[in-house]
A and B are shown apart, each in its own frame.
Chain A
Amino acid sequence: MLYRENGQFKTSYTADQQIFPILQDRVAIGALLAIAFVIVPVFGSEYIFRAILIPFLILALAALGLNILVGYCGQISLGTGAFMAVGAYGAYNFLVRIDGMPLIGAMLLGGLCATVIGVLFGIPSLRIKGLYLAVATLAAQFFTDWAFLRIGWFTNNSSSGSVSVAGLNVFGLPIESPVAKYLFCLSVVCVFALMAKNLTRSAIGRQWMAIRDMDVAAAVIGIRPMYAKLTAFAVSSFIVGVAGVLWAFVHLGAWEPAAFSIDRSFQLLFMVIIGGLGSIMGAFFGAAFLIVLPILLDQVPHWFGIPLSTATTSHLVHMIFGALIVFFLIVEPHGLAKLWSIGKQKLRLWPFPH
């Protein structure tokens, strides 16, 4: 009844090509942004910011970056944690070694470092495909784990690679309180989500999708596989690198290479798959699912007053988490974003049967 496009006529190409062509969608996204930018900062508690919202936003950004590579270009990567680490340590070095480096500048330069490493480890994708590539990208993961632990220059010669940053500020505004951190992350995520959405709707995005669907066929119709694959690696690792900077600087404050271990890579890949491959929205759904679920599972025994030791709880959480992932893959292999679009299709007709 409420959600339908009847009567919304497009009279110009710009109107036809906008991101949200349906008025109700525009209203909904506007309301969502208003809630996120105004209402949540006013009413949110510190715990919600620290434990849920900030990790959610940053990991959603990383998942967004990974989704460009895996979901749009079809190149499976298990080295996401590595690219996050490169971004974080790159930005750290720029911040420490150059006097008066602004946070935004360091963040973008950190992203660029991740881009360079991403393209470097993306080169094998020209020869290797599918699962072989997935395992090959693990090389990036183990190499950076080792490099940040063993090569002192990257970490300013601190022991065991643990470093910290303090006194962050953007244009003179301090990023110290949870609300400020949240708003900063939210702004960055919004900018990058918009950028990613537009990139995937453009010529290069269509090239990525052609490569994903069948790279030989794409090459035959004149798409350069090298250019398409390497740009996907570049854009993806830039976004992932920026997410790494945010994770290290804003969320953790002090970190060591273990913060970007192989578990992080798997976690992000889970987000992308559960959220939905090839969908910007999916990255957010996936991140929300994977952040909230463990917290909820942790709380459930407390609600019922079941006394369980911490170790048992963590094992049970592991089990339920694994089982739920399998369950979700069986029920909807195309992810939560697919469920969302099915829901929207149904809503167009509701409450009429057809």
Chain B
Amino acid sequence: MGFFLETLFGGLMAGMLYSLIALGFVLIYKASGVFNFAQGAMVLFAALAMARFAEWIPQWLGFDNLILANLLAFGVAMLLMIVLAWAIERLCLSKLVNQEGITLLMATLGISYFLDGLGQTLFGNDIYSINVGMPKDPAMILESTFEGGLLLSKEDLIAALIAAALVAVLALFFQKTATGRALRAVADDHQAAQSIGIPLNRIWVIVWSVAGFAALVAGIIWGSKLGVQFSLSLVALKALPVVILGGLTSVPGAILGGLIIGVGEKLSEIYLGPFFGGGIEIWFAYVLALGFLLVRPQGLFGEKIIDRV
């Protein structure tokens, strides 16, 4: 029982990390109808910027303070993501208005190639580390209830808390602010939103910046866990089944989908893995999502798809 709970908690926390990346997909899809394949590249780019600036800024300015360096690096990286969002909108999306979904999807794939190249040209292609002072040692809890207690990774716990906080902030932003309302209006209907005077271009820059912010947070957490390297951009592939399971248009869906996938992956690896010869983690999430879609094609919380001739 103790072992089961331990796996369950591990899965839940891994799931929160997936949802963090999935959030980026959902935000952009909601507001612009673009399925943004470049999210993984954005995570890598943001993490690279964060890791390198945290290293460079103290050298340039000549001080030695980890917290200050991290804060400054975070600011610079965020600025970079906003510039990136603006450039993507100006150079790419605004020219592709009214194109089909698949064309936009391909364009984001092109962007992701570009970002992979740009990030590694600017920041180098070694393995870098992000040190934001995450505790590395695990914690024991509930020692009185179970024999030996439950082993929990503090790092994962903090990451999950940050993810939860980010989701809360985003939910507030979407529901309570004027900009958030404008974003939801654009998501509902581009033309109608435009006709009541919502500037589409500015909304897109904002939403790509918010997605960039989500990518930066995800990049920092994943980067401090795994190290910043090229494979970070592949983590996004892990988040895809989360997105379709939860529904492309739903923020809560991204969270719940992430939790389901995280738990499913960990439990299946432990309890089903031995029958298949191990390593089933890489496809289990996809097959789970696929099976689920057969029953509910729009995902858990996606808007119902209505076909009209």
Which A residues fall within an 8 A CB radius of B?
70, 76, 124, 127-132, 134-136, 138-139, 142-143, 145-146, 149-151, 214-217, 220, 262, 266, 269-270, 273, 277, 311-312, 315-326, 329-330, 333
Q: Choose among A70, A320, A330 the residue with the greatest number of B CB atoms under 10 Å from its CB.
A: A330
Q: Which residue of B lies closest to A76 (CB)?
A: B102
Give, as a whole number of angstroms, the nearest-CB distance from B19 to chain A: 16
- B244 contacts A132, C-beta separation under 8 Å: yes
Answer whether A329 and B308 are a contact pair too, CB < 8 Å, given A132-B244, A266-B109: no
Q: Choose among A128, A132, A311, A317 the residue with the greatest number of B CB atoms under 10 Å from its CB.
A: A132
- A135 contacts B244, C-beta separation under 8 Å: yes
- B125 contacts A315, C-beta separation under 8 Å: yes
> Which residues from chain B contact A217 at a C-beta distance below 8 Å?
309
Within 8 A of A (CB), among B97-117: 99-103, 105-107, 109-117
- B294 contacts A329, C-beta separation under 8 Å: no
Known: A76-B105, A135-B244, A216-B307. 6 other contacts (CB 8 A): A76-B102, A128-B294, A146-B282, A316-B121, A320-B117, A329-B99
Q: Choose among B110, B241, B276, B297 the residue with the greatest number of A CB atoms under 10 Å from its CB.
A: B110
Q: Which residue of B lies closest to A329 (CB)?
A: B107
- B114 contacts A135, C-beta separation under 8 Å: no
Number of B residues with CB within 8 Å of any CB on chain A? 52
- A124 contacts B290, C-beta separation under 8 Å: yes
| B95 at the A interface (CB under 8 A) | yes
- A326 contacts B309, C-beta separation under 8 Å: no
> Which residues from chain A contact B102 at a C-beta distance below 8 Å?
70, 76, 273, 277
Q: Mark B266-309, 1 if CB is under 8 A from A, else 0.
A: 00000000001111101100110110011001110000010111
Give, as a whole number of angstroms, the nearest-CB distance from A84 to chain B: 17
A/B interface sample: 13 pairs, CB < 8 A: A131-B101, A132-B298, A135-B240, A136-B286, A139-B290, A150-B278, A318-B117, A319-B114, A323-B110, A325-B109, A325-B113, A329-B103, A329-B110
- A317 contacts B117, C-beta separation under 8 Å: yes
Give, as a whole number of angstroms, the nearest-CB distance from A11 to chain B: 40
> Which residues from chain B contact A130 at a C-beta distance below 8 Å?
101
- B287 contacts A315, C-beta separation under 8 Å: no
Answer whether A132 and B299 are a contact pair too, CB < 8 Å, given A146-B280, A269-B106, A317-B117: yes
Give, as a whole number of angstroms, the nearest-CB distance from B49 to chain A: 15
Q: Which residue of B lies closest to A144 (CB)?
A: B283
Q: Which residue of B lies closest to A123 (CB)?
A: B294
Q: How far is the CA of A101 from the CA of B134 in the complex (A)?
A: 60
- A146 contacts B283, C-beta separation under 8 Å: yes
> Which residues from chain B contact A329 at a C-beta distance below 8 Å?
96, 99, 103, 106-107, 110
> Which residues from chain B contact A215 at a C-beta distance below 8 Å?
307
Give, as a whole number of angstroms, the nearest-CB distance from A231 to chain B: 20
- B99 contacts A333, C-beta separation under 8 Å: yes
| B179 at the A interface (CB under 8 A) | no
Give, as a whole number of angstroms, the nearest-CB distance from A176 to chain B: 36
| B66 at the A interface (CB under 8 A) | no
Give, as a whole number of angstroms, the nearest-CB distance from B21 to chain A: 14
Answer whether A138 and B240 are a contact pair too, CB < 8 Å, given A124-B294, A130-B101: yes
Give, as a whole number of angstroms, the nearest-CB distance from A262 to chain B: 7
> Which residues from chain A contact B113 at a C-beta distance below 8 Å?
318-319, 321-322, 325
- B283 contacts A330, C-beta separation under 8 Å: no
Q: Which residue of A lies closest to B240 (CB)?
A: A135
Answer whether A333 and B103 are a contact pair too, CB < 8 Å, given A150-B277, A262-B237: yes
Give, as a whole number of angstroms, the nearest-CB distance from B231 to chain A: 13
Q: How far is the CA of A293 from the CA of B35 in the complex (A)?
A: 26
Q: Which residue of B lies closest to A277 (CB)?
A: B102
| B243 at the A interface (CB under 8 A) | yes
Give, as a whole number of angstroms, the nearest-CB distance from B273 to chain A: 11
